[in-house]
Each structure stands twice: as structure tokens, then as C-alpha cells.
Amino acid sequence: MEQKNTIEVFGTINKRETVFTIDDKVEPGTLVFESLEPFPGYYHETPFDTKPIYMYIALQEHYPLETIIRATQEVEKVFDEKFDAGKGFLTMYDTTYNVLRVRHLNRYDLIGTLQKAYAANGIQFLAKTRKNLKEKANIKVVKFFSLEEIDPGIYLDLKERFHAYIELPAHYTWEEFDALSNRVKYNWSESKFDAAVGAFYHKGRLREFVRIYSNKLSLEYLQQLKKLYLEKVKLPQ
């Protein structure tokens, strides 16, 4: 029986999304952002797909990662519906918000109940000071990855459908990465994809990667994308 090359690591993902504030179904007076398009490069091209719900709930203070994980584990014991939560940072203009990233909720009316469950476990939420906001934001999420390496430097996510990761040879700022991905997309004729940049630590070094979101994640598709990214990359001098 073939043994899968699986790894479990913590890492980060950086992306840029348009977010807007919401008032309905949330705890009164709290600041909650929803992503207009969590995977804009993909959903622009596939308008008939169902858009996932991605929420960013602003926190009153900076909580250590282990505090968020402990609270999440306690909430999962009493919250009957499926959800996934992670620690993140959302930057808009010159303000950075500590946020709880929430996804995989089936219904909007669960958001307030989920907030109450976190509050009961010591996680407090930031009071809303801005209304009717809709802007682009830089988002960084700290998350746990469960991956299978299917080819050198190419990984499939074992927990999240349509997610894959391709190692890059260097670290890139968002602006550098966005320019690189645009060069790739201009020369890409296959099925569309959304891209984000991130890193995880494995076997003694930090692995920089591009996160690919697509429903066409065959090995051949990812190998072609990897080849094109490496062709278009500009290594720092």
C-alpha cells in the first residue's frame, strides 16, 4: 500500500480582499466584516458557483494564538453547527484589526450565537466605530495546514477542498506577489484560479508558497502552474 507524504504544520496566508461591515445577525455594536469575494480570481470567472461565507470579527485586543485555539476547542463542544475559526489581522488604511476569521458557517443567523460562545470563553469583541464601510483590506491569517505533498514542492490541502500550494523560491511582499501572479495569469490559458501568498515552517526552514484555489487541481494542472510561476519569478538581486 502506497504511503502518503503528509505533513501537519502552522503557517500564514496573506491576501487582499474587498470587505464590508455587516449589522444583521451579529452581536449588537460589534465590528464584523464580510468578504465580498473570498477568492476573487476564481469567482469572477465562475459566477454560477456558490460564494463561501468568510467573516472577520474584530477583537477587542491581541490574543495569543494558543488562547484563540483553546477558546475554539471549548466553543466546538457546545456549538452544534459546523464552523472553522482562525486568528488573523485585517489592515485597512493605517489601521490593523485583530480578527477572528470564521468560515464554513451554513447560515448568517449563527454569527451572533457564535460570538456569544466565544465571549463566554474570554474572547471579547471590538465595538463598532465605523458603519457602511466597503474597502479593500490586506488580510493575514494564521492557520493550521494538513497537507499531502503530491510532487516535489506541490501540496494538496487535506482539509479544504480546492486548495493547493506551490513552493516559491523567495519571500514576496503582497505587491511583488500580485505582480508575479498577474504575469502568470496573462500567460495562462487553462481553468482560472485565485492566488494568495504564504509560508509554513517544515524540516528546518520556512517554505514560501502560492496558494492556488481552483476546482481543477490535477497534478498536471499544478505542475504547469508551478513551471509558469518559476518562469515568471524575478529573484531578488
Per the prediction, the chain carries an average pLDDT of 91
Whether the per-residue pLDDT at 107 is higher than 90: the answer is: no
pLDDT, residue 21, reads 94
- 230 in Cβ contact with 184 (< 8 Å): no
- 14 in Cβ contact with 139 (< 8 Å): yes
Span 1-15, average pLDDT: 84
> What percent of the chain is modeled with pLDDT above 70?
92
Q: What is the pLDDT of residues 16-52, one digit of tens each?
A: 999 999 988 999 999 999 998 888 777 555 544 555 6
For 179, counting Cβ atoms within 10 Å of its Cβ (0-12 exposed, 13-18 middle, 19+ buried), the class is middle
Predicted structure pTM score: 0.90
Whether the per-residue pLDDT at 13 is higher than 90: the answer is: yes
- Among 44, 47, 11, smallest CA distance to 165 is for 11
Q: How far is CA 206 from CA 24, 77, 186, 199, 229, in A?
A: 41, 34, 29, 6, 19
DSSP 179-220: HHHHHHHHT--SS--EEEEEEEEETTEEEEEEEEE-S---HH
Q: Give every CB contact of residue 167 below 8 A, 6+ residues apart in sequence.
A: 153, 154, 207, 208, 209
For 127, counting Cβ atoms within 10 Å of its Cβ (0-12 exposed, 13-18 middle, 19+ buried), the class is exposed
- 83 in Cβ contact with 104 (< 8 Å): yes
Q: How confident is the model at residue 1 (pLDDT cuts 50, 70, 90)?
A: very low
Span 111-134, average pLDDT: 93
Q: What is the pLDDT of residues 205-236, one digit of tens each?
A: 999 999 999 998 999 999 999 999 999 986 44
Q: Whole-angstrom Cα distance, residue 212 to residue 16?
A: 14
Q: Give every CB contact of residue 61 below 8 A, 6+ residues apart in sequence.
A: 98, 124
Whether the per-residue pLDDT at 130 is higher than 90: the answer is: no
Pull the grid cell for residue 46: 465562475
Q: How far is CA 20 from CA 16, 66, 92, 234, in A?
A: 13, 28, 11, 34
pLDDT, residue 48, reads 41
